[in-house]
Structure 1
């Protein structure tokens, strides 16, 4: 039974869950993780978790500062690359980035994109909704593919010629 509304998220254009709040999708991913990640080698489990949370955040940029989004995007790019470091390295780097007085989050409406390049996508080729519809046994690969697709969508959008002074 499909429990989604026909409404779409203002930030990712994915189908909204019954709650009407796309943030629920992140919780659905974390629920899947409670069942799947314990069956994985720790490195693979932590990497899958990183991809899920980071990719969700990149597709819902109203919650993070521009500096944080830029760092998160670079981290996803690094972790999907051919020479990805151990996840512990990334966790240390991200912890140092977020430490101290640096502001990493922001309170804004999902439609507030004032801190972004105007070309930042509002529609994505793969969303959290797509990942939650897949087989749980495919979850680690699915979140990795989601991360790669999100980076590709970002690269394509940001490489496009700015419109109207963007």
Structure 2
């Protein structure tokens, strides 16, 4: 899925998607959350809704690793992989693990200049699918689309090796 740059637009330095007019890529997270606010309350299967939210936030962060430590990025990558497995653990189990990791002695965020990816020097800056692609799909497809986004992101990362 690709976008083309019109005159006066710029790509996000971390994911390659066209930046929102007058904004930055972080605005996409707010757009994803708006979709969730409209859609997820109507999903009967709470697990599906919570998994969709996890995929959206974790996948966004994997494509924008500058704000996270190397350990936090590795934790997210592993969590997404486990959630995409043929027999994933319950999302509550993963959420407890993530909370334990984030509240533990390790730092999960890093202090660096915006877009600084020195801690992940070989990480992609162009992805097969980005948050922009998810936002462009119908709301009714959201849960499946964020799962597809997570899967494609892992495939892009797996092309790099461990």
Distance (whole Å) between structure 1 residues aligned to residue 132 and residue 22 of structure 2: 13
Distance (whole Å) between structure 1 residues aligned to residue 152 and residue 91 of structure 2: 20
- The Cα shift of 1:136 comes to 0.5
Q: Residue 134 of structure 1: SS of its match in structure 2?
A: coil
Contact 2:9–2:21 at 8 Å: present in 1 too?
no
Task: Name the structure 1 match of 2:90.
Answer: 86
Q: Does the alignment pair 1:46 with 2:50?
A: yes
- The Cα shift of 1:100 comes to 3.0
Which structure shows the bigger proportion of residues in strand conformation? Answer: 1
Distance (whole Å) between structure 2 residues aligned to residue 100 and residue 93 of structure 1: 10
Q: Deviations over 1:98-134 (max 9, x none)?
A: 1133210113234311111x22101000000110011
Q: Out of 10, 14, 17, which is 2:13 matched to?
A: 10
Task: Name the structure 1 match of 2:159.
Answer: 156
Aligned length in residues: 155
Unmatched runs of 5 consecutive residues or more in structure 2 = 1-5
Aligned 1:5-154 pairs, distance under 5 A: 6-40=9-43, 41-116=45-120, 118-154=121-157
Distance (whole Å) between structure 2 residues aligned to residue 78 and residue 119 of structure 1: 23
For normalisation by structure 1, the TM-score amounts to: 0.89
Contact 1:73–1:151 at 8 Å: present in 2 too?
yes
Distance (whole Å) between structure 2 residues aligned to residue 68 and residue 136 of structure 1: 29
- The Cα shift of 1:76 comes to 0.2
Query: Larger deviation: 100-109 or 84-93?
Result: 100-109
Unmatched runs of 5 consecutive residues or more in structure 1 = 160-166
Moved over 3 A (4+): none
